[in-house]
């Protein structure tokens, strides 16, 4: 039976097996006479499948494909089969707009999951708005509260919530009052600067390509890095080589394998906060992980974005079911209305520390 992600009353993501009665209802809804072919409704997925961030694309596409296979195996939704249309944006804003326009002109595409990067998502947002195409954006930290015609939805806390958690830990657990922030101006870095005063913290901002970056960071006890995983890894390696003994902290980029690969031993002890835990750190996820790894040839274990991508797919299926129940035919405005009722941001955040073996360990 197919897996469905749902949230417990405390907001924790968990996996359950679809009840027999529900599965039968889906099968009956999808029944057609022999020789008849179910009509198709499409959902889009845009992520970087090539280039520096290709690991993101391959983390999420297996999860979304798994969800699509499961829903179709259960008879589809309301007599419709679901088809996935996946495009590569290469983590490039211009490519993101191009792919959004392609999805917008396809009348069978009812909603999109993507783009798994703040810059690409924000660049493409107006294209989705113009097409009336709702967007679910896991993996994005910029606020995307629907406004000004934008039907775009986050599934987890944004940069402001992560910044508050980081600053509270810095001031509380470490008793620090001065922090060095290494940032290229990404949403988390901006939120950290804006929230520092409320925590009675002073932040010194330095760009990762600043010639004085290493001198500034080695003089600090707490360094928060908001750069991409490779840049953060290079910083961690340089700090380690300089004999620095402080604490490196950050957000979701430090969860990426690229960070640990580049940082080497310099990543040991790094601490990060994320809304997207590794699947096996969630209860009841063994079945999901097994199904994910069995979904293709030599599929690697799922990373932190696999579960939110899978969850986003099932969220769209739920919205489609509501839309069809209300109107009889799928429509983008109906999907947007259903999503507005269904989307509920999970407030949970997860803290990790990278151990001596290079493996991120979930903190209690």
This prediction's pTM: 0.89
Distances (CA, A) of 162 to 16, 136, 155, 171, 227: 28, 20, 14, 14, 15
Task: Provide the pLDDT for residue 10.
Answer: 27
Is the pLDDT score of 187 beyond 90?
yes
In tens, the pLDDT along 159-176 reads: 999 999 999 999 887 677
Is the pLDDT score of 2 beyond 60?
no
Task: Provide the pLDDT for residue 355.
Answer: 96
Region 220-235: mean pLDDT is 96
3-state secondary structure of 246: coil
What does the domain layout of the chain look like in residue ranges?
A: 3-157+279-342, 159-274
- H/E stretch holding 12 reads none
- Please compute Rg for the chain using Cα positions: 21
Cα–chain-centroid distance for residue 298?
23
Is the pLDDT score of 96 beyond 50?
yes
Query: Residue 86 has which token pair?
Result: 């996946």
Is the pLDDT score of 293 beyond 60?
yes
Q: Do domains 3-157+279-342 and 159-274 have the same CATH topology?
A: yes
Is the pLDDT score of 357 beyond 80?
yes
Dihedral sign computed on CA atoms, order 327, 330, 333, 336: positive
Strands of the chain (E only): list them. 3-7, 13-17, 40-47, 81-88, 109-114, 135-136, 152-153, 178-182, 202-206, 222-225, 247-250, 271-274, 350-354, 360-362
Task: Provide the pLDDT for residue 63.
Answer: 97
Q: Which residue has the higher pLDDT, 258 or 24?
A: 258
Task: Provide the pLDDT for residue 150.
Answer: 75
Task: Provide the pLDDT for residue 24.
Answer: 39
Is the pLDDT score of 3 beyond 50?
no
From 267, 270, 293, select the one nearest 280 (Cα to Cα): 293
In tens, the pLDDT along 9-59 reads: 223 333 333 333 343 344 444 454 444 578 999 999 999 999 989 999 999
Half-sphere exposure of 243 (CA within 13 A, CB side): 0
Region 229-237: mean pLDDT is 97
**pLDDT averaged over every residue in the chain:** 89
3-state secondary structure of 159: helix
Q: Place 144 in a pLDDT band, splitting at 50, 70 and 90.
A: confident
Task: Provide the pLDDT for residue 140.
Answer: 93
Sheet hosting strand 202-206, strand order edge to edge: 202-206, 178-182, 222-225, 247-250, 271-274, 350-354, 360-362
Task: Provide the pLDDT for residue 178.
Answer: 87
The b/e string for 23-54 (b: 16+ C-beta within 10 A; e otherwise) is beebeebbeeeeeeebeebbbbbbbbbeeebe
Task: Provide the pLDDT for residue 145.
Answer: 63
Is the pLDDT score of 6 beyond 60?
no
Q: Place 227 in a pLDDT band, splitting at 50, 70 and 90.
A: very high
From 276, 30, 12, select the one nearest 162 (Cα to Cα): 276
From 320, 241, 337, select the one nearest 79 (Cα to Cα): 320
User: Per the CATH hierarchy, to which homologous superfamily does domain 159-274 belong?
Assistant: Response regulator (3.40.50.2300)
Contact of 71 with 82, CB cutoff 8 Å: yes
Fold annotation for 3-157+279-342? Rossmann fold (3.40.50)
Task: Provide the pLDDT for residue 147.
Answer: 57
From 157, 176, 188, select the one nearest 254 (Cα to Cα): 188
Region 223-236: mean pLDDT is 96
3-state secondary structure of 41: strand
């Amino acid at each position: 039976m197919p897996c469905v992600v749902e949230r417990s009353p405390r907001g924790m993501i968990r996996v359950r097996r679809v009840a027999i009665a529900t599965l039968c209802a889906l099968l009956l809804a999808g029944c057609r006479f022999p020789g008849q072919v179910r009509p198709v409704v499409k959902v889009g997925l845009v992520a970087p499948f090539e280039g520096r961030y290709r690991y993101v694309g391959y983390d999420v596409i297996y999860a979304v494909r798994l969800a699509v296979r499961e829903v179709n195996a259960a008879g589809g939704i309301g007599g419709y089969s679901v088809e996935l249309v996946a495009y590569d944006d290469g983590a490039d804003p211009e490519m993101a707009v191009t792919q959004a326009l392609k999805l917008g002109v396809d009348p069978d595409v009812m909603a999109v999951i993507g783009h798994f990067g703040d810059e690409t998502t924000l660049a493409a947002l107006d294209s989705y708005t113009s097409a009336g195409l709702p967007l679910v954006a896991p993996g994005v930290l910029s606020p995307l509260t629907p406004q000004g015609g934008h039907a775009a939805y986050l599934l987890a806390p944004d940069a402001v919530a992560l910044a508050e958690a980081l600053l509270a830990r810095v001031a509380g657990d470490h008793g620090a009052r001065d922090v060095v922030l290494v940032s290229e101006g990404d949403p988390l870095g901006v939120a950290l600067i804006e929230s520092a005063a409320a925590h009675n913290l002073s932040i010194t901002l330095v760009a990762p390509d600043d010639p004085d970056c290493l001198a500034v960071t080695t003089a600090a006890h707490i360094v928060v890095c908001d750069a991409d995983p490779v840049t953060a890894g290079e910083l961690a390696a340089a700090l380690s080589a300089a004999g620095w003994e402080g604490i490196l902290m950050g957000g979701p980029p430090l969860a990426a394998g690229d960070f640990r690969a580049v940082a080497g031993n310099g990543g040991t002890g790094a601490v990060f906060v994320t809304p997207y835990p590794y699947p096996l750190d969630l209860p009841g996820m063994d079945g999901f992980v097994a199904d994910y790894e069995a979904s293709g040839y030599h599929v690697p274990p799922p990373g932190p974005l696999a579960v939110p991508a899978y969850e986003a797919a099932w969220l769209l299926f739920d919205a489609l079911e509501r839309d069809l129940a209300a109107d009889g035919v799928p429509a983008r405005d109906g999907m947007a209305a259903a999503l507005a009722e269904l989307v509920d941001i999970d407030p949970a955040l997860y803290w990790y520390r990278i151990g001596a073996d290079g493996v991120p360990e979930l903190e209690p």
